[in-house]
Structure 1
Amino acid sequence: MTSPSRLTDRKRDAIIQAAIAEFRANGFEATSVDKVAARAEVSKRTLYNHFASKDELFAAILDILWESSASEPRRAYEPRRPVREQLIELLQSKLAMLADDNFLALARVAIAAALHSPERAREMVDRIGQKDNAMLDWIRAAQKHGALKAGDAAQAYKQLECLVKGVAFWPQLAMGQPRLTPAAQKKLAAASADLFLSHYGV
């Protein structure tokens, strides 16, 4: 006999998969709870038992897809290793995440949803920012050990993000350009690391 908890888990998974499909196909505004429930083959009441609102459901999906695409282990700063070598590895992990199909698809939906609600945009950015802090932590640790110049780590992180996302995220997201090949990702990681270290290196 199937236990109630396993049935509940299966229904929750069905809701999530249905919502991903609806959001990807129709965008945030055009996706309704009714459509998600129908695709998941559950009642609206069941859906609301798991997620209090469409916003909460969307936020849960972003979390799930973020976790699945950001599967690379966090890398702590290693004082005995060359700083350039470590930075390139971090950037290559980030570039692999940015090229993930699910990540790009949901990023498009998230941005479209944010255009209709600046408040929602801030919430999404905050949620992603809380998870996407491995690079910032690494920069702070490198500064603490004297491998990078002291200063505003958050500002340095933003500048590094722009070097990467300006080539390997925004063109693909907004203009439909093809994702970078692994070879191109490796080349961009090295070039971005060198440009960053030309200013922040010691």
Structure 2
Amino acid sequence: MKLTDKKRKDILEAAIQEFREQGFPAARVNRIAELAEVSKRTLYKHFESKELLFQAITDILLEEIAAMPKLRYQPDVPLREQLIGAAQDYIGHLTGEQYMGLNRLVMSELLRDQDLAQAFFAKAAMQDGPISGLIGEAMRAGALREAEPGFAAGQLLSMVKHFLVWPQFLMGAKAEVDPDAVISDCVDMFLAHYGPES
């Protein structure tokens, strides 16, 4: 890794720590530079403002989502099994310690600043989710009835996240439910609605 890349990475990590501890409005650039062990001048060379530094952090969150492997529909494997596995992998990713902490940091600021929120969700909307491709291919193959794949994927994942992500995100504790049973039930409801019409 080049020295400039390492400094940029150190600055981002320091900013994440400072924003978590102080919140975005109270975070100090001096403290971020101190934590990153760089001068303020070096920090500003990489990021011209605290806002641009925060934007870079939101990009990291979006990159985390984009890095998830895109799933392909496999006609020789039961669709229910594929959807359950996909949902389990997705929820495992969302509830990982690194992602969860970053998500809390970003979302708390997006709630405060609607302009930032609109920019973030506009970028997020341009990404193809990891499950929507699988659902779209299953629809084209006739394994699911035709609909908008992104919307259908959103419905499935919203049900699952209600039980397995939001309690942990908001309260810091996993809900007292069997995650495999929740995912199976949600997939069954999804298939009951989107199953191919007879």
The RMSD of aligned alpha carbons is: 2.4
Where does residue 145 of structure 1 map in the other structure?
141
Query: What are the Cα deviations for residues 95-121 of structure 1, in whole angstroms up to 9, with x where unaligned?
Result: 101211121112222121112211111
Matched to 1:173, the amino acid is F
Q: Distance in 2 between matches of 1:180 and 1:126?
A: 34
Matches within 5 A, 1:112-191: 112-131=108-127, 133-178=129-174, 184-191=178-185
Where structure 1 has 5 or more consecutive residues not aligned to the other structure, the ranges are none
Secondary structure at the counterpart of residue 115 of structure 2: helix
Q: Distance in 2 between matches of 1:132 and 1:55?
A: 26
User: How many residues get paired?
Assistant: 196
Is 1:201 aligned with 2:195? yes
Where does residue 104 of structure 1 map in the other structure?
100
* More moved, 129-138 vs 76-85: 129-138
Does the C-alpha gap of structure 1 residues 119 and 99 become closer, same or farther in structure 2, counting only changes over 3 Å?
A: same
Secondary structure at the counterpart of residue 80 of structure 1: coil
Where structure 2 has 5 or more consecutive residues not aligned to the other structure, the ranges are none
Does the C-alpha gap of structure 1 residues 58 and 180 become closer, same or farther in structure 2, counting only changes over 3 Å?
A: farther
Matched to 2:58, the amino acid is L
Give the alignment's TM-score, normalised by structure 2: 0.86
Q: Distance in 2 between matches of 1:195 and 1:86?
A: 15
For the Cα contact (< 8 Å) 1:24–1:109, is it kept in 2?
Answer: yes
Query: What are the Cα deviations for residues 183-202 of structure 1, in whole angstroms up to 9, with x where unaligned?
Result: x3333222211111111112
Identity of aligned pairs, percent?
Answer: 39
Q: Distance in 2 between matches of 1:69 and 1:97?
A: 9
Give the alignment's TM-score, normalised by structure 1: 0.85
Is 1:60 aligned with 2:88? no
* Misfit runs of 4+, over 6 Å: none
Is 1:73 aligned with 2:75? no
Q: Distance in 1 between matches of 2:150 and 2:140?
A: 14
Does the C-alpha gap of structure 1 residues 130 and 34 become closer, same or farther in structure 2, counting only changes over 3 Å?
A: farther
Secondary structure at the counterpart of residue 131 of structure 2: helix
Does the C-alpha gap of structure 1 residues 117 and 65 become closer, same or farther in structure 2, counting only changes over 3 Å?
A: closer
For the Cα contact (< 8 Å) 1:88–1:193, is it kept in 2?
Answer: yes
* More moved, 129-138 vs 155-164: 129-138
Where does residue 36 of structure 2 map in the other structure?
40
Measure how far apart 1:179 and its partner are: 6.4
